[in-house]
Structure 1
C-alpha cells in the first residue's frame, strides 16, 4: 500500500495515528538537527518532520538526499505541530517519519512549482505536466470537471441522452476551414474533423432520440487569436418538437443551475435583446450588461454645424463615462491614443467634460455651443461629473471602435467584476450576411438555420432583411452559447442552398444525406451549443480559456510540449499517397 491517506486530509483528530503518505517533495528545510519536508499531492500538503532525537539515523540520511519534486513514501505517526499553519487544512499536525522510501528521484524543475511561480508562460507550456502540479492549474482542471459533471447530471435529469458522434466525417465548404485527414485505404480521399456535430445531431432527431447532448471536441483550422484554440469543447444539445421559446427556457434553466451550484449566485433575470438593438446600443452582438455606458447616436444633434468630421460621417455616436470628468488632460490624451491604435483603427476622438456647475467644456468648442453640448449629454445620458467620448465614421467600424473603448473604460473603472453575472439572450440575428470578397450571401450561423416564421418569402426580394430563428446566450460580454431552430423540410432546405449559391449538384454532393433523411419524417427541431472552455473560464472568474485546458496550444496553434504539429516520414506520406512540394 503506497498510502493510507492523502496529503490534504489529516487533522488534529488523527493525532497518534500511524499513517503512510506518498507524494512529491515541495520544499525542504534542513536545520541540521531537524529536517522538515512539505509533501504534496493533488489533495494538499502535509509537513513531515525528521528529528535527530526521535528518528533513526538511516532515515535522516535518506531525508538529507531528498530534492524538490522527488517522489517519496513516508510512514510515521501524526503528531501535533509546534508551529501551526492556519493557511492549510493540515496545518495543525505533522508526521514524525519512521520509514522513508524514495520512489523516484527528480531533476531540478525549470521553474518553481508553487502557487506563485517564476516560470514564464511559454516555459510552463513546454513543461505542462509540471505546471499541472501547481495548485492554480490543478484547481482549474478540477473546477472544469465539476462544471462538466453538473452539466451531465442536469441534462440527464431533464431527459437528455448523451450520444457520441463521429470524429472522422466529410468536409463541407461552409464555416471555417476544416482540419483534413488523408485516408490510406481510399487514395486521394480525405476525412475532416468536425467543426461541430451539427448534421449528426439533426439526424439523431430524425432518428427519434428527442433530446440529445454531448460534451464533444470540435476542430477549426482558422486564424488564431490570443484566446482561441484549434480544438475546443462544446456542450452540444438538440431537441425535437420545440420552438425557440422551449430552447430558451430549457437552457436558462441549465445556466441558472450552474451559477447557483458552482458560484452560489441566484440569477433570475435573463433579458432578451434583438441583434439590431444590441448593435445600436452596445456596438456588438455580445454586450456586457453589467454596467451602463450605452451608445447615444448623435447625428441629429451634431451634424448641423460646420464640423466636417461629423458632417461627412455615416454615424456620430458617444458614451458617457461615469466620473470621467476627473480625468486629467494626459489621461484623456491616452484614451485618444488608445482608440487610434491599429487594433482599434479610429482616426481620433472628440470629448466633452460635464462640469459640476452644469456647464460643458469640449475639444470642439470652436464649433459647438453649450446648448449643443447639453443635447449631447441628454442623448448619451451624461450627468455632471461625467465625460462624453464621441467617435464618428462608417457605421459598422465606428460601432466596433466605440464598443472596444467602452469595454476598455469599464475595465479601467473596475466595472467588470468577476463575481457578478449578467446573462442575456440576443435574438433575431440576420439569416444571411453579405461577403464583399465573394459577392454573395453566406449563412451567418450555418445553412441549416431556419428563417423566422413568415419570412421565407423575403429571400426572393430582400435577403439581407430576413431574420434567423437563431439565438445566442451571452454572459458578461462573452457568447457562451448559440443555436437555432433548424430547417426540417427538404424543399425549404433545398431552397436555402439555392440562395446560398450552391448548385443542385453541389448541395446533393455535400448534404444529400441530410436532405434524404428529411424525406423520412423529420420532426421540427432545434438546439444550442455552449462553449465549455469559455463557460468554465467565466464561471471561474477568469478570462483566459487556456488556464482551464489540460494541454493547450499556444497562440500559434502549436503544442510546444510534444512539439506538434510535426513532419512525418516519407514512408507514411507514401502510404497516404501524399507528396510535399517544399
Structure 2
C-alpha cells in the first residue's frame, strides 16, 4: 500500500532517480526567491533537498517550518549550483504540486536552525519540539539512541539478562531525597520513585539470576549541575552473582572501552584495559578530588612534615600541599592565579621559582633554612625553570584547594591532553563518615556495601578507619559510575547499620525484603551502574547534560514545555488523602 504523503524519505533520493516523478514530505527550512524562480530547502529527519518552484502560485501561503508534501520531477542541478554540504546536493525536485500538511499559525519563537547559543535556554526548553528540529540538537538524540542500542547488544553478548525492576517502590532512609507518591488505597502511606534499582537487583541475585542489566531510569530530588539533570537520569545498571570487585572491573572496562572506541570522535584516544586503580586516599592526595582528571599531567604532593621544620607560621600545624609546574608564567598570570585562589577562600597562594643557579625566588624562600633547601629540592623533584605553588589549611580544605589550583593550572597553561578519554577506577572508599554538624557516624556512600574485613572489622576497628569494597569509574574528571561488592550477610548488615544509627527494627522496616532474603542463602554479588546521560555528554563533548536529553527539565527542575510541576485539583488531593499546607 502506497503512502499518500511521500514515496521515499529524502536520504533515499539520488542521481539514479533523475527523470522520475516522486512525492516527498518534510518541513520548510528556508525559502529563497530568485526572481521568477524560487527555492525551498525541504528537511525531513534524514536529509535536506532543494525544491525548485517555477510556478509562483505553488509558493502562495508557504512559510518556514510548515509540514508539506511535494510532488515533482527529479532533475540534475547545474554544476555551478552543486551543494557539497548535503547528500542531495547534485539534484533537485522541480515541484508540480505543493500541499500544506501542517500549518504554522503563530510566529516562530526562534529560528529553528539558529545556533543554540544564540537562543536563551529557557526558550529552547519551552519549545523543545522546535529545538529538536535543529539538526545538531537532533543528532545528539539520534546518537543517544545508537549508544543505548549498542549497550544493550554488548551486555546481552556478555551473558547478561535484561530485566525490569519496579518504578513504584518503598522509600529508603539513605541516599538522596526521594520523590514520593501518595497512595490512594492506603491513607497516609506513600510510594517512592527509585533512586536506583539497588534492592531489586540484589534480590534478583538472591533469586538465582546470575547476570542482570537494564537501562534503568532513576529518580532523585537533587539540584541540577552541568553534569546532573534534576529529577531523573538513566544508568546502565548491572549486577553479577558469585563475583568479586575484579570481576566487575573487567566487565566495566570491556563495556566502556568498547563503547567509547566505537562512538568517540575520530582520532580520540581511549584508555585500554586494565584501567589504573587509584585508592580514595591516593586520589585526594595526588589530585585533590575523588574524580581525578588523568588528562592533566600535574600531581599534588604532600609537604606537611617538611614545613613543620621551617619558620613560616601560616604553614605550621596545617596540612600543606604543593604543585610543581614547569612553564613560563608572567607576572600577570601569577596575579590572575592569586585572584582565583582568593576567590576559592584561600588567604593567599605561596610559591617558589627555581632560578638558573638553582636558588629559589619567592615569598616563602626566606622561611626555608639553608640547610633544608636541598632536602626540599629532592622532596619536590625541583628543576631549573620550575615553579611550585603551596596550599595550606585543614586537611580536607587543603586537598580541595590543591585540586582546584591543579585544575586551573592545567586549563590556563593548556596542559590538558586533547582528544582523549582517560579512565580510572577509584576504590577503597571509607565505609563511614562523621557528620560535621551532628558528629554522628553515618554511611559515606552506599549502605549496602561490604566492609573490608567483614564482621571482625565492624566489631574491632574505629568505624572511621574501615574501608568499603566501593568503587567509582571516573573519566576526564567526571564520575561515570559507582558500584560496590554488596553486603550479602545478614549479621554484617545488622552491625553496619547499627554503627550508622539504625537499629534492627528500622532495618527490618525499611529494608525488610533484603534483610529477610539474606536469611535464605544469598550469594556473594557485586555490580555497578555507569551513567548513560554522562557517557553520552562526554562522547558528544557537550558541557551541559541537558543537551543529550530529549525533554530535559531546566536547571530549576521545571518542565517549561508541559508546565511541571503544576497544581492539581482539590478532588485529586482528596483521593490521595493530601492537604496542602500554607
Residue 135, structure 1, aligned to residue 131, structure 2: no
Alignment partners' CA distance in 1, 2:576 and 2:429: 43
Distance 2:173 2:39 in 1: 62
- Matched with 2:321 is 317
Residue 72 of structure 2 corresponds to which residue in structure 1?
76
Q: Which residue is equivalent to 1:32?
A: 35
Structure 2 partner of 1:237:
238
Q: Name the counterpart of 2:536.
A: 536
- Tell me the residue number matched to 1:102: 100
How much has 1:402 moved relative to structure 2? 1.6
Aligned to 1:496: 496
Matched-pair contact (CA < 8 Å) for 1:9–1:89: no
Residue 51 of structure 2 contacts residue 95 of structure 2 at CA under 8 Å; is this kept in 1? yes
CA 1:108 to 1:250, structure 2 compared with 1: closer, same or farther past 3 Å? Answer: same
CA deviation digits over 1:102-126, x for unaligned, max 9?
1122133211211524311121111
Question: Which of 57, 64, 67 is the equivalent residue of 1:61?
Answer: 57
* 2:301 paired residue among 290, 293, 296: 296
Task: State the distance in 1 between where 2:10 and 2:459 align.
Answer: 65
Shift of the 359–499 alpha-carbon distance from structure 1 to 2, 3 Å rule, reads same
CA-CA distance at 1:299 after TM superposition: 2.1
How many Å separate the matches in 2 of 1:557 and 1:149? 28
- Any unmatched runs of 5+ in structure 1? 52-56
Q: Which whole-Å CA distance do the structure 1 matches of 2:235 and 2:546 have between them?
A: 15
Contact 1:9 1:90 (C-alpha < 8 Å) held by counterparts: no
Measure, in 2, the Cα distance between the counterparts of 1:297 and 1:386.
17
Counterpart contact for 2:355–2:361, Cα < 8 Å: yes
Q: Which moved more, 1:176-185 or 1:113-122?
A: 113-122
Provide the alpha-carbon RMSD of the alignment.
2.0
- CA displacement 1:406-427 (0-9 Å, x = unmatched): 2222223334456201110111
Unaligned runs of 5+ in 2: none
Of the three residues 273, 292, 315, the one matched with 1:287 is 292
Distance 2:371 2:553 in 1: 55
SS in 2 for 1:252: helix
Q: Could you say what secondary structure the match of 2:10 adopts? A: coil
- Quick one: distance in 2 between partners of 1:258 and 1:15? 40
Shift of 1:378: 4.5
Question: Is residue 311–residue 368 contact of structure 2 (8 Å, CA) maintained in 1?
Answer: no
How many pairs does the alignment contain? 570
CA contact (8 A) 2:278 2:427 kept: yes
Contact kept, 8 Å, 1:302 with 1:372, in 2: the verdict is no
CA distance in 2, matches of 1:416, 1:97: 53
Report the equivalent of 2:405. Answer: 405
For residues 339-378 of structure 1, the aligned pairs below 5 Å read: 339-341=341-343, 344-355=344-355, 358-368=358-368, 378=378
Work out the CA distance in 2 between the residues paired with 1:416 and 1:91.
39
Question: In structure 2, what is the equivalent of residue 54 of structure 1?
Answer: none
The offset of 1:194, in angstroms, is 0.6
Change (3 A) 1:81 1:380: farther
Normalised to the residue count of structure 2, the TM-score between the two structures is: 0.93
Aligned 1:265-276 pairs, distance under 5 A: 267-269=271-273, 270-276=275-281
The 2-side partners of 1:319 and 1:563 are apart by 49
Aligned pair 1:88/2:86, yes or no? yes
Q: CA deviation at 1:371?
A: 7.6
Q: Aligned to 1:457, what secondary structure does the other structure show?
A: helix
Contact 1:352–1:373 (CA under 8 A) maintained in structure 2: no
Equivalent residue, structure 2, for 1:248: 249
Secondary structure of the structure 2 residue equivalent to 1:8: helix
1:111-510 correspondence to structure 2 within 5 Å: 111-114=110-113, 116-117=115-116, 118-229=118-229, 230-263=231-264, 267-269=271-273, 270-313=275-318, 315-323=319-327, 326-341=328-343, 344-355=344-355, 358-368=358-368, 378-417=378-417, 419-453=419-453, 456-510=456-510
Measure the CA separation in 2 of the matches of 1:188 and 1:340.
Answer: 50
Shift of 1:380: 4.1
- On the 8 A contact 1:346/1:398 being kept in 2, the answer is no
Q: Which moved more, 1:170-179 or 1:331-340?
A: 331-340
Structure 2 Cα separation of the partners of residues 12 and 378 of structure 1: 71
Post-superposition offset of 1:12: 3.0
TM-score (norm 1): 0.93
